[in-house]
A and B are shown apart, each in its own frame.
Chain A
């Protein structure tokens, strides 16, 4: 059964810092990996999607990498801003086993960027 773990569970940084959020998964048989942002009381917003054949994706100040063989992904946020404060979740789309075709989510990293 696929398991997705996110470290750290919470992170507090001053504005302007570059930071890295980590996501690891136990089964490398995946179609893709997505990073989401969730603001309090809101739904999830897709940030980046990396296909299993890709190594990284970039959008603005965000860069996500994927190392499928080691079961790891990182989300790099450059020059953090208070508006980046939110919960960040990663999810893998499973390509094998009993979870085929389904997404498995990590529990998220709560990010706080203070002025």
Chain B
């Protein structure tokens, strides 16, 4: 019962470096999301996907990129890391309901990123 799996759990980057946060779900969910959580700021949506091959921007997409080549995987790429990207990143997935809207959301354990 893996659910949503994120790697790595922790990472320290230098300013200007790039990296990819991996996210995999084994529940055959259509919808996948990337959020960042900053202290006192709640969760902000970075990017989301309604299915393989389809992605769209959320509230705070600048400095990030995503791809969705398969149903299972939804990696988040950080290009030219900046201190403002220091945060905890959560990947989530949800099934498509009979009405077409997303259903219950399932979260990964998070990836804590520090940019120095």
Contacts and interface: CB of A to CB of B under 8 A. Distances in A.
A34 B43 contact: no
Nearest to B44: A105
Interface in B37-56: 40-43, 45, 48, 50
Could you tell me the dominant secondary structure of chain A's interface residues?
strand
Residue among B43, B50, B92, B110 with most chain A CB within 10 A: B43
Interface in A94-114: 95, 101-103, 105-108
A108 B41 CA distance: 10
Q: Top 9 closest A-B pairs, CB basis?
A: A43-B107, A107-B42, A44-B107, A105-B43, A31-B101, A43-B109, A49-B104, A105-B42, A43-B110
Interface residues of B, number: 23
Measured as residues with beta carbon below 8 angstroms from the partner, the interface class of chain A is 20 to 34
Interface of A: 31-32, 34, 36, 41-46, 49, 89, 91, 93, 95, 101-103, 105-108
A41 B103 CA distance: 25
A103 B105 CA distance: 10
B54 to A, nearest CB: 12
B109 A49 contact: no
Contacts of B41: 107
